[in-house]
Structure 1
Amino acid sequence: MATPNPGFFERQAHARRNTGLLVVLFLTAVTLITLAVCLVGYTVTRSESSNLPFHYWLLSSHGLITSGGVIALIGIGSLIRWAALAGGGSKVAEMVGARPIEPDTRDPEERTLRNIVEEMAIASGVPVPSLYVMDNETGINAFVAGYTPGEAVMVVTHGALTQLSRDELQGVVGHEFSHILNGDMRINVRLIALLAGILMIGQIGHFLLRAGFYSGGRHRSRDGRAQAAIGLVGLALMVIGYVGVFFGRLIQSAVSRQREMLADASAVQFTRNPEGIGGALFKIGVKGGYLDTTSHASDMNHMCFTESARMKFASLLASHPPIDERIQAIQPGLMARLKSRLRDTQPAHATRAATSQPSATRGGAISASSGAISASSEAISAFSEAVSAPSRGTRATPAASVSARVGKVSDQTEAYATRLLADLPATFRTLLYTRAGAIQLCYGLLVHETTDAERHTRLAGLNQHGLLGANPELLDKLLPTIDRLGADIRFPALELAMPALRKLDPDERASLLDNVRLLIHAD
């Protein structure tokens, strides 16, 4: 009897368990590296320790100093790398040359991306991430960066914006939102930091090796034995460090592959459309997703939607499962259907060329089939919406229940987000994308239930410096919508305003918080 395929939630639970085991393996590798360095120290100091057995030597002063020093070095190297990576996703986006997408962009493709991201953010109850685009990258790829959901940024390539249908782009966005909601960004930072700490052992060994040989060459007659010992210790540390880094990368890649499978399953759960993300992966398999214009492609490999750089030992160090395997895991038989559509929409010789050429050179093979894939995806999406969307007379989900659903996306929350965004006037939504409008929104949410006289009195007591003062003209444009939608608009409006609020400098943020506290205490 055939074993039934596990559902999305079962696959997510399985991936989480496997990831936990792999993290334990990573920490075990660090422990083994520490013991290996201690063994080197034991060999060097054995005569001074009266030939103690190794397990007794570990508890001696030499052993404790050596193991403590190794742990301290790994910790220092990890902290330095962690501090650089945890500073904010915008630094990573700028590092790869990405351009911020303005909230009020008029570019239709960027507008589509922003609409999808805002819908997903409102449906999941998390702040809208800042958006960036890599204008010079024609491959199809994307990634999220940042240590916490509140500072997350989402970066997409120009190829993803121009070559994917809306459903396919929604699948990619759902995949990246999974990384935000499941804490993958934090896991990535921690694993990279641990690797940096292990690498420091190898770098110190390399330094000692060079120092030993250099000093030994000039002062061989003075103390050649001591210099040779330094060189040998350096060689041993270098080998231990770099071998540790290699195996650490193996574990990091295994962790990344598990998280990618989890994110694929979550994307289907979020969008209820397996052909969206499946179609995006299929196009990447045909057209490629490598980042060709940035020197940081290999550094970003484990963070991207698909492989961003050509890797040596790809079968061992690949940060993503093979595309065929990912599509098959999303929905059994989906790969065959996508290939069939490609054959149906391409001449026979073109189909053979598309399936036989390397992915980086299959530029136009799938373009004619994208319409069929998109049409099917749109049909499935429309069917899902028709089944799950409440009637127009149904009241929107109360904002009070949003906090209980943070990080969860369902048909109901997706329909709620879509309906809410459609109900927002264009002027109201545009104001939320500006710093001035976002600030006035914070004030408006706190005073919209007061009388005109009370409102005037409370707003007059605020810090009126620059953008932070009450702006009656902007408030008059915001308050009618706030009054009409009431509690339903509070959290979603703040989520939409988060990209603009992030642009405030520290002093402006502090002053805004002071003004908000004044309005709260005045209530």
Structure 2
Amino acid sequence: MKRVGLFLLTNLAIIAVLFIVASILGVDRYLDEHGAINFQALLIFSFILGMGGSFISLAISKWSAKKMTGAQVIGQPRNETEAWLLRVVENQARQAGIKMPEVAIYPGEEMNAFATGMNKNNALVAVSVGLLRNMSRDEVEAVLGHEVSHVANGDMVTLALVQGVVNTFVIFFSRIIGHLVDRLIFKNESGHGIGFFVTAFIAQMVLGILASTIVFWFSRYREFRADEGGARLAGKDKMVSALRRLGGRRNEELPDQMAAFGIFGRPGQGIKRLFMTHPPLEERIEALQRKAV
């Protein structure tokens, strides 16, 4: 409940800030004096909300990830395991050509890990207590390599960019649909009536669900690349072993708003596959074994 509350409050604050920015620029009033849509103003308004929301979320992603998972950043190692984690990540970051990310451990018996951050030189890599308890060090090394590869590939920024573009066009077209319905069906000739707001809301929901398949496709694609990166940094056998370990027991994914950041994602069949953040582990293992890493 605390995670959900934090997520809702954060997003409401982001939306409020973006609406204020749009209002200051005057693009929230995208109807001209004749009641016709100013498409340029509407596109700028949609861009501010869509792209702005995505990148503000990215900018605060390290802070929000720590709050939502309870991750504790390792400053001074308190034991040999923490010292080992820092050494491994430092070595992998050097190989990947990025600055040392923050390294954290978060409570949870599930086996999972995630990486996030505004850019590749200011990132966070975190592993769960359950992952450390249930994986060998070779397997943990591979998981860390997978997450460091996400950072080095710039996956967080690219995903935010894809999400921002999708959001922009969803907002843009949902308001055009709402405007048309308001004018043609509800015969409202001035401003926007209830027909606009109801239709735009429904259209935004439907278009958002359809457009999210693009974001999920990219999320799945980047997992294959990160697996390859983990294999290069730690070794293919270690990466395959880590993926098999993840599939060898019942596991849990991260909170919905962070699911795309974890190494493990909930599997799905049929149409559900379109909304999966991660490919099935069997497909990831098969793809990795075919690669000459």
The TM-score by the shorter chain falls in which range? 0.7 to 0.9
Q: Please name the residue that 1:92 is paired with.
A: 64
| Alignment match, 1:237 | 200
Match status 1:126 vs 2:98: yes
Q: How does 1:218-297 map to 2 (within 5 A)?
A: 226=188, 230-271=193-234, 273-291=235-253, 297=255
Distance 2:176 2:112 in 1: 38
Shift of 1:130: 0.4
Q: Flag the 1:233–1:207 CA change in 2: closer, same or farther, 3 A.
A: closer
With over 3 angstroms needed to count, the CA separation of the structure-2 counterparts of 1:258 and 1:310, relative to structure 1, is: closer
TM-score with structure 2 length normalisation?
0.74
Asked if structure 1 preserves the Cα contact closer than 8 Å seen for 2:62 and 2:117, the reply is yes
Shift of 1:322: 0.7
Letter in 1 for 2:106: M
| CA drift at 1:318 | 0.5
| 8 Å CA contact retained: 1:205, 1:233 | no
Q: Distance in 1 between matches of 2:139 and 2:203?
A: 45
Where does 1:507-518 land on structure 2 (aligned, <5 Å)? Answer: none
Q: Displacement of 1:152 after TM fit?
A: 0.5
* Secondary structure at the counterpart of residue 276 of structure 1: helix
Give the whole-Å Cα distance in 1 for the aligned partners of 2:267 and 2:177: 27
Tell me the distance in 2 between the aligned counterparts of 1:231 and 1:106: 60
CA distance, structure 2, for counterparts of residue 275 and residue 239 of structure 1 = 48
Identity of aligned residues (%): 21
1:264–1:277 CA contact under 8 A, matched in 2:
yes
Which runs of 5 or more residues in structure 2 are unaligned? 1-31
The alpha-carbon distance between structure 1 residues 70 and 308, as it changes in their structure 2 partners (threshold 3 A), is farther
3-state secondary structure, aligned to 1:169: helix
- Cα distance in structure 2, aligned partners of 1:284 and 1:104: 29
Alpha-carbon distance, 1:69 to partner: 3.6
1:160 is aligned to 2:166:
no
User: How far apart, in 2, do the equivalents of 1:107 and 1:98 lie?
Assistant: 19
More strand by share: 2
Q: Does the 8 Å contact 1:175/1:263 carry over to 2?
A: yes
- Which structure has the bigger radius of gyration? 1
| Secondary structure in 2 matching 1:147 | strand
Corresponding position of 1:26: none
Gaps of 5+ in 1: 1-44, 49-60, 213-223, 334-409, 411-523
C-alpha distance in structure 1 between counterparts of 2:193 and 2:287, whole Å: 52
Give me the whole-angstrom Cα distance separating, in 2, the residues matched to 1:89 and 1:71.
Answer: 26
Partner SS, residue 42 of structure 2: helix
The reply on whether 1:324 has 2:287 as its aligned counterpart is no
Distance 1:95 1:193 in 2: 23
Aligned-pair CA distance for 1:89:
4.3
Residue in structure 2 matched with residue 517 of structure 1 by the alignment: none
Q: 1:202 to 1:238 in 2, by over 3 A?
A: farther
Which residues of 2 match residues 449-468 of structure 1 at below 5 A?
Answer: none
1:104 partner letter: Q
- For 1:145, which of 94, 116, 120 is the aligned residue? 116
SS in structure 1 at match of 2:103: strand
Q: Distance in 2 between matches of 1:312 and 1:177?
A: 31
- Report the counterpart of residue 505 of structure 1 in structure 2: none
Question: Residue by residue, what CA displacement relative to the aligned partner does 1:298-343 show, whole Å, maximum 9, x if unpaired?
Answer: 111112112169899532100111111111111159xxxxxxxxxx
Question: Normalised by the size of structure 1, how large is the TM-score?
Answer: 0.43
Measured on the aligned residues, the alpha-carbon RMSD in Å equals: 3.5
Could you tell me how far apart the structure 1 residues matched to 2:269 and 2:133 are? 26
Instruction: Tell me, yes or no, if structure 1 residue 101 matches structure 2 residue 73.
Output: yes
- The number of aligned residues is 254
